[in-house]
Amino acid sequence: MKKLFFSLLVLVAFSGVAQQVYELDATMDEKPFRETLNLGGSNPGGQAIAFNNHYMTIGGQPVIPITGEFHFTRYPRQYWDESIKKMKAGGINVIATYVFWNLHEEKEGTFLWDGDKDLRTFIKLCKDNDIYVIVRIGPFCHGEIRNGGLPDWLLGRPLNIRSNDPLYLSYVERLYGQTAKQLKGLYYKDGGPIIGIQIENEYQHSAAPWGLTYPGQPGDLTAADRDQALTQEGVGISEAENPYAALGNDHMKVLKTLAVKAGMDVPLYTATGWGNAAIIPNESIPVTAAYAYPFWTPKRDYSPFFLYKDMHKSPDYAPVRYNPEEYPVFAAELGSGIMSVYTRRPIAVHKSLDAMINRCLGSGANGIGYYMYHGGSTPKGQSSFMSDEAYALPKISYDFQAPIGEYGQVREGFHRLKLLHFFVQDFGAQLAPMQTVLPVNARKLKPINITDLRYAARVKGSSGFLFLNNFQDDTTMVAQKNFRIRIKTKGGEISIPETGGINLDSDENAVFPFNMDVNGAHLNYATAQLMAKDEKADARYYTFFTPNGTAAEFSFAPGVTVEGKGITVDKNNRRTIIKCNNAITEFKLTANGKSVKILVVDKATALKSYRVTIGNKQYFMFSDALVLQHKKGFECVSDVPEFEVSIYPKYNVMPAIGAGNAERLHDDDVFSRYKITLPKTDIAISSRQVSANKWAVTLPASLPENANDVLLTVNYTADTAMGFLNGELVADEFYKGIPWQIGLRKFLNGKSQEMVFYFRPMQKNASYLIDLQPYPESIPDFGTASKYLKVGAITAATQYKTTITF
């Protein structure tokens, strides 16, 4: 067998800067694809979902599912549809959600499926929005909820939880039966959106503490008696030999049998497989995780999740209980954010989110999933708070610093991730069968190394994608300057770029294609990242963007004709090189009788992009506003009353606007451009200090006209903060140096109300200050005092919305 890969570093004098030239051998023998998994199924139209040991197919086409976790019970049902549309706008095509047993059967024998617990309505809304669903049915869930989702009353029954104890299984069977009633007729086989079921969670790996505990008492974990010694708190590595592994796998099989008996018949069953957790061999896909900013570790440290590896051979949090080469690499819990506990408050840097996905895709992942993608608020139970108080989590907030926040706020990570999502949606069929190629130094690289280039490729035949990552958590990578990569393929060697070098800023990542067909034109390479394509359009187009610090260059095989502005073309008998001179460039290629347009935008513009449909045709909209697709048009949500919308390809129709005014701007060479102006609204609130720790804020009675929400911002420096309405705790937060933002729409009732805020002072010796050390401006000057409390401005701002229709 040929040597799989090698790397060479050469120094060349170039413009006064030493150039680094790396080499990668992609002439490896390809791994076989085997269809041995007992998974799959068809819908009524005959479209089959199937799996081999590398990837998933729908209708015979390789796909890479993009899954976002969103807990319907942690969000008001009147906004579910909006949130599902937000997730779809972000490129999510599968929603994963937990069924928390204790929220639905808090009182033994009484199941609640109404209001915000209406699972069936949530699944129907997913169907209406054409988005798939994976239901995580437990019985144990974790999810930082009380007892990990197990009801309190289960502790008081004569049984052994999470085991084959007959009484325990009888309760589980009842739970599954009740859940299945809510899901009836909504499975993929019925034409519904439910393609997957997750059985249990982190079984024989992790557990949560029982909520019935005493302050200072060690955690009493929700695990079977036999598993207590090997059960850990949080996701991690477990190298100890489990003498009960066979019994654990058997229990998982029993749970699946009960689920199928209840009617939960789906193409895909998953099990959390990290850290030697139990799975259902050959009948479930073991999904993986990666948390760069865990709260369950004693301190901040560099994670390995930004270093490329072959995840098909060596999963994260290995060792694992299965042969990884027999299963596709599906990630279910890539930490797109993190929770705070009282003692630890990690800050999830949103530049880490797309960097981690780049690394996972480059390392062979053929399914990506986020925990959490959309935050929320944990509902209060009938007898207690339902958050994991024993772990010292906030009693209400489950914001998770996620791409979509607790109150639906769209954050930086949402925009960064969608660029990779668009790419995976359009090029997943090419990427999924490709195998990972690494340089020889990949195994030697350590997270602490901030100077060496991190790179890998996915390759099939001579075609592939080059992955570059220059991010590492809890430190700052050195900017990569003036480097080239030579890739040896079965069809010959290719140098990216041909001459000169690439720059990649610190914290940036990139994916560059090589030896790819672009509608009849052979693309040798591009130093711009593929974003999307439309090969069904009248004028076919591909879109690219340039990562920060990188110049866009395209090399095509001979025989192409190029037309466009803002480009430099260099032709010889071996290739045609096109360099883009502007931030936004469009050029037309013609090869072999076919034409295609290439749009190249800078990253700042790409981050404003949304894929939309107008009149059954695909377009891109670029806007600072959030653009949500509706059946008859678009809803635009903006933090300011004036914003622009640009459309590509050009669409020369003046839109109708639901509120405000629309103005056609002078088109540039590439986009149709419109300016939307809404009536400006000032929110009048008043605040008063009640005591040393307490403030009262008068809220508006209702939302202003054409408002999507009113966002209250509380600037403070303290330990913890709580918000009360009518004496009831409705919102809380642990200080992390970030202003506290609260969406008010779910609290407004048409009457004047006061929200009372209670703050507890920060202690000088607080353990969580270690997490704020990278942000010294967040740590106050205590002076000679032992505690500190300061409340600054409390302000409110309108979040505007309108509709536009073409």
Does residue 325 fall inside a structural domain?
Answer: yes
pLDDT band at 538 (very low <50, low <70, confident <90, very high): confident
Q: Which pair of structure tokens corresponds to residue 223?
A: 């695990």
Does residue 575 fall inside a structural domain?
Answer: no
**Per-residue model confidence (pLDDT) at position 11:** 40
| Cβ 62 vs Cβ 432: under 8 Å | yes
pLDDT in tens, 561-590: 999 999 999 999 999 999 999 999 999 999
Cα dist from 767 to 342, 390, 772, whole Å: 9, 17, 10
Question: Does 425 lie in the same domain as 454?
Answer: no
Flag the least confident range among 248-252, 416-420, 460-464, 612-616.
Answer: 612-616
Question: Does 339 lie in the same domain as 438?
Answer: no
Question: Does 313 lie in the same domain as 300?
Answer: yes
List the domain range (segments joined by +) for residue 643. Answer: 609-677
Last residue of a domain, one of 631, 657, 677: 677
Q: What angle do CA 777, 779, 781 make, to 5 degrees?
A: 100
Neighbours of 272 (CB within 10 A): 27
Which residue in 293, 282, 288 sits closest to 320, CA to CA?
A: 288
The pLDDT mean for the chain works out to 95
Q: Which pair of structure tokens corresponds to residue 765?
A: 């010796």
Q: What is the mean pLDDT of residues 324-336?
A: 97
CA 417 centroid distance within chain: 7
Does residue 443 fall inside a structural domain?
Answer: yes
Q: What is the mean pLDDT of residues 331-340?
A: 96
Question: Does 50 lie in the same domain as 12?
Answer: no
Phi-psi region of 360 (alpha: psi -120 to 50; beta: other; left: phi over 0): alpha
* Residue that the structure tokens 């009640």 belong to: 690
Give the CATH number of the domain where residue 714 resides.
2.60.120
Cα–Cα distance measured from residue 799 to residue 210, given in angstroms and rounded to the nearest whole number: 40
Last residue of a domain, one of 405, 429, 453: 429
Question: Does 695 lie in the same domain as 647?
Answer: no
**Per-residue model confidence (pLDDT) at position 17:** 61
Question: Does 96 lie in the same domain as 49?
Answer: yes
**Per-residue model confidence (pLDDT) at position 14:** 40
Last residue of a domain, one of 429, 459, 477: 429
Question: Does 337 lie in the same domain as 449?
Answer: no
How buried is residue 161: exposed, middle or buried, by Cβ count under 10 Å (0-12/13-18/19+)? buried
- pLDDT at residue 12 is higher than 60: no
pLDDT band at 31 (very low <50, low <70, confident <90, very high): confident
**Per-residue model confidence (pLDDT) at position 667:** 75
- Which amino acid makes up residue 412? E
- Which amino acid makes up residue 751? K
Does residue 567 fall inside a structural domain?
Answer: no
**Per-residue model confidence (pLDDT) at position 536:** 79
Question: Does 657 lie in the same domain as 629?
Answer: yes
Does residue 590 fall inside a structural domain?
Answer: no
How buried is residue 74: exposed, middle or buried, by Cβ count under 10 Å (0-12/13-18/19+)? buried
Question: Does 164 lie in the same domain as 141?
Answer: yes
Does residue 339 fall inside a structural domain?
Answer: yes
Q: Which pair of structure tokens corresponds to residue 257?
A: 């049998």
**Per-residue model confidence (pLDDT) at position 345:** 97
Which residue in 530, 549, 548, 532 sits closest to 540, CA to CA?
A: 532
Which residue in 644, 481, 488 sits closest to 26, CA to CA?
A: 488
| DSSP per position, 708-721 | EEEEEEEEEESSEE
- pLDDT at residue 480 is higher than 90: yes
3-state secondary structure 440-494: HHHHCCCCCCCCCCEEEEEEECCEEEEEEECCCCCCCCCCEEEEEEEEEECCEEE
Question: Does 118 lie in the same domain as 10?
Answer: no
Question: Does 356 lie in the same domain as 261?
Answer: yes
* Residue that the structure tokens 């008998």 belong to: 573
- Which amino acid makes up residue 793? A
Cα–Cα distance measured from residue 183 to residue 113, given in angstroms and rounded to the nearest whole number: 11
Domain count, the chain: 4
**Per-residue model confidence (pLDDT) at position 535:** 81
- For the whole model, what pTM was predicted? 0.96
**Per-residue model confidence (pLDDT) at position 15:** 46
Give the CATH number of the domain where residue 365 resides.
3.20.20.80
pLDDT in tens, 179-238: 999 999 999 999 999 999 999 999 999 999 999 999 889 989 999 999 999 999 999 999
Residues 745-754 as b/e (b if ≥16 CB within 10 A, e otherwise) read bbbeeeeebb
Cα–Cα distance measured from residue 396 to residue 647, given in angstroms and rounded to the nearest whole number: 40
pLDDT in tens, 106-161: 999 999 999 999 999 999 999 999 999 999 999 999 999 999 999 999 999 999 99
| DSSP per position, 250-277 | HHHHHHHHHHHHTT---SEEEEE-STT-
Does residue 720 fall inside a structural domain?
Answer: yes
Question: Does 421 lie in the same domain as 438?
Answer: no
pLDDT band at 764 (very low <50, low <70, confident <90, very high): very high
Does residue 501 fall inside a structural domain?
Answer: yes
